[in-house]
Structure 1
């Protein structure tokens, strides 16, 4: 009877749902174990040992470098406002060397000649002053007459006044032809405008 009761208990345990029975699962990996590791090849040499330098030598080097920079800064500030040279406006060196030979002595003027020139200069200045005053007065008279005529025209008709003060568009493409400094050259062929630029290029 005991065996039968034990069998019934075991049969009941067997009929229990599997969730109630604790099951231990072992974690088993299928990847092979890595026992050796390789690193990248490094082509380098061992670091050199730093030499000990006297602090006075290092300080002297820094001082020389600082003085050199200050000298360059002073040179740049000195030439900051210097204009770029223009070869066309520079006097050739051979002319500067022969300046003393080519210079003519100033003629010695007598007292009478100096007095006559001074009087002539004063007369010329007086004449130009009177000419300027007469020109300004004439322009003032013309402008005053024009102003009076426009005022009279405005009293007569405002439309005619507006037409009178409008600019004349036919006078804008104004061309004038008169005497020139030199007479024209017969059978002269003017250049086509091509030229070779030989000026130097300056970097900013």
Structure 2
């Protein structure tokens, strides 16, 4: 208080009686410590550390370049060793087909392909005829009355009423053990 009072008196004397707070400046308390001296390291030790970092990075780069062409294995596509061992037992011994049977099968395939092609062409022709007749009818209707045309092209939502009835819940599986809420992430991680 004595410092503030002294400053106020000085302020009163300098301004001829008017109180001002120009000379009164307050700042927050700064709690600081002197900076710690940096430990001086030997330049050889610093150089050794940098060399170690460089070697480590170069080693990682070499490993990445070596494994760049290697594909990650997909466990689902790997054949179990038991099946590889049982391959001879599982292999079927089929008698080779005769030339007459091979030709007969080739003719059947050609006939089937021709039949499916003709069926597809016929379907496209039917669709084209329907679209043409519909567009012609709409043009004639537009010439007669614009209002009827607009009513005809309007979408009718009740044309195809959809009502679906089915089970609202599937029946429980008797042998299913429900988890406790924990999720275990089992994806394999491969180093690149």
TM-score normalised by L of structure 1 = 0.51
* Separation in 2, partners of 1:115, 1:126: 17
Q: Which residue of 1 aligns with 2:186?
A: 200
Q: Secondary structure at the match of 1:77?
A: coil
Unaligned runs of 5+ in 2: 1-38
Matched, 1:191 2:172: yes
Matched with 1:74 is: 65
Instruction: Measure, in 2, the Cα distance between the counterparts of 1:130 and 1:99.
Output: 43
Question: Post-superposition shift, 1:114?
Answer: 0.7
The answer to which structure, 1 or 2, has the higher relative contact order (CA under 8 A, 6+ apart) is: 2
TM-aligned CA deviation for residue 69 of structure 1: 2.4
In structure 2, relative to structure 1, the CA distance for the partners of 1:163 and 1:78 (3 Å cut) is same
Distance in 2 (alpha carbons) for counterparts of 1:169 and 1:137: 28
Query: What is the match of residue 108 of structure 1?
Result: 96
Query: d(CA) in 1 for partners of 2:160 and 2:74?
Result: 41
Mark the CA change 1:121 to 1:70 in structure 2 (over 3 Å): closer, same or farther: same
Indicate how the Cα distance of structure 1 residues 172 and 72 shifts in structure 2: closer, same or farther if over 3 A, else same. farther
Q: Which moved more, 1:108-117 or 1:66-75?
A: 66-75
How far does the alpha carbon of each residue in 1:128-160 deviate from its partner, in whole angstroms, 9 at most, with x for none? 111111111011111111111111111121111
Show the counterpart of 2:30.
Answer: none
Q: TM-score, normalised by structure 2?
A: 0.54
CA distance in 2 between partners of 1:172 and 1:202 (Å): 49
* Aligned-partner Cα distance in 2 for 1:172–1:78: 56
Give the distance between the partners of 2:163 and 2:94, measured in 1 at CA. Answer: 46
Quick one: distance in 2 between partners of 1:171 and 1:90? Answer: 53
Length, aligned pairs only: 142
In structure 2, the CA distance between the partners of 1:84 and 1:173, relative to structure 1 (3 Å rule), is: farther
Corresponding position of 1:156 = 144
Alpha-carbon RMSD across the aligned residues, in angstroms, is 4.4
Q: Distance in 2 between matches of 1:75 and 1:115?
A: 52
In the TM superposition, residue 171 of structure 1 has moved relative to its aligned partner by 5.0
Structure showing greater radius of gyration is: 1
Cα distance change, pair 202–63 in 1 and its aligned pair in 2 (3 A): closer
SS at match of 2:59: helix
CA distance in 1, matches of 2:110, 2:150: 49
